[in-house]
Structure 1
Amino acid sequence: MLLAAVAACGPVPVERAEDMCFRQAELALRPRGEVALGANSAGQKGGSLKLEISSDYIQGRDPSEVYNSCVYNRSGQLPTRPLYSRTDWKG
């Protein structure tokens, strides 16, 4: 069991690190949130608010820099493709 925990701390393949770091880069670009409102037939109303703001966003860090450093820290390698060339990037 201890060996499995130690192995989990090691580097991951660069492709996996790119996928893991993509969300962090998105949060560096802008906060994310959602609002849910509802009412039932008895007139009861309810709602919720979820907001995610990263410290990278607050510090004004470039999402590409966040992505590159995250991938390097997780895999020990630079990304195989720049953040801005990903087809799923909406920056």
Structure 2
Amino acid sequence: MIRMLAVSVLLSLVLTACNRPVSAERAYAQCSEQARLAERPRGSVGIGGGTGGASAAFDLTVTSDFLRGRDPYVVYDTCFRRLTGAGPTRPLIL
């Protein structure tokens, strides 16, 4: 019985910690990034050479928000509200 009570208290503390709102600055950074990726994909290409021979790298990031054509400003607003529990404190600058 005591073990069951201890487990339920610990579980409730963990779940409460997961739902804790983040700071407005952190939310701005994370949500701005999501909005930028909703506006357009991001990619990079790298080519190099050295004593070991030639090398190349390619990276492409495409989000489902971009593929669905979601408005970046709506993505930003929704993300900010989800993370902080309140509306954005700063406007989105793309």
Give the CA deviation at 1:78.
0.5
Give the CA deviation at 1:14.
2.7
The one-letter amino acid of 1:59's match is: R
Q: Does 1:78 align with 2:87?
A: yes
The alignment partner of 1:70 has SS state of helix
Distance 1:54 1:14 in 2: 23
Matched length = 84
Query: TM-score under structure 1 normalisation?
Result: 0.77
Work out which of the residue numbers 22, 37, 48 in structure 1 matches 2:47: 37
Percent same amino acid among aligned pairs? 42
The alignment partner of 1:22 has SS state of helix
Distance 2:49 2:26 in 1: 42
Which residue does the alignment assign to 1:24? 34
Query: TM-score under structure 2 normalisation?
Result: 0.75
Q: Does 1:11 align with 2:11?
A: no
> Any gaps of 5 or more consecutive residues in structure 1?
84-88
Distance 2:49 2:90 in 1: 46
What RMSD, in angstroms, separates the aligned Cα atoms of the two structures? 2.0
Q: Output aligned runs, 1:52-91, within 5 Å.
A: 52-83=61-92, 89=93, 91=94
> Any gaps of 5 or more consecutive residues in structure 2?
1-9
- 8 Å CA contact 1:14, 1:77 repeated in 2: no
> Could you give the per-residue CA deviations for residues 50-81 of structure 1, whole angstroms, max 9, x where no partner exists?
11001101111111100000000111001012
Distance 2:61 2:73 in 1: 19
Q: Which has the higher helix share?
A: 2
